[in-house]
Amino acid sequence: MSVRIADILAHKGHEVVTVGATARLVEVIALLTRHGIGAVVVVDDADRFQGLVSERDVVHALGRSGPPVLEAAATEVMSTDLPACAPEDRVDDVAALMTRGRHRHVPVIVEQELLGIVSVGDVVRSRIDDLSETAEQLKAYVAGSY
């Protein structure tokens, strides 16, 4: 049985740290720090996904524009060319998508509703747990066979 994105969300929860489109980059940085996360989702007035501001986006914006960019709106630095996934997607497929596109965060969206966010750390943790479970089953099988 393959692990699905829904399994990750069931374990980690559906909470997503979001900001409005007019939030300043300095506010986004404060949220990243306060929550110990690598990305914040930007939403519109109806709480629909607009984009994502990651630590990488912050560093690139600072490198391009210097400290004045800290007062820019989140929409000016956010990434919008992100893939999304659905709860029924296989973790292996999302991992491949993340690797190919070098994405560290993928929003989980169904019918324009943001259900959660999956990070590369979540995917790796899930795959390690799955491999550990398989190893335990194999050990039990071998131990029972002899």
Q: Is the pLDDT of residue 26 over 80?
A: yes
User: How many residues appear in the chain?
Assistant: 146
* pLDDT tens digits along 36-52: 999 999 999 988 899 99
Nearest CA to 22 out of 42, 46, 37 is that of 42
Nearest CA to 78 out of 102, 58, 96 is that of 58
Q: Residue 41: give its domain's CATH number.
A: 3.10.580.10
Which structural domain, as residue segments, surrounds residue 61?
Answer: 5-145
pLDDT at residue number 1: 54
Q: Rounded to whole angstroms, what are the CA distances from 95 to 24, 25, 53?
A: 31, 29, 20
Provide the domain count of the chain.
1
* pLDDT tens digits along 57-93: 999 999 999 999 999 999 999 999 899 999 999 999 9
Q: Which residue has the tokens 């490198």?
A: 63
Q: Which residues contact 86 (CB under 8 A, 6 or more apart)?
A: 5, 108, 109, 110
Nearest CA to 51 out of 36, 73, 30 is that of 73
What integer is the mean pLDDT of 21-44?
Answer: 96
**105-110 and 49-54 strand pairing:** unpaired
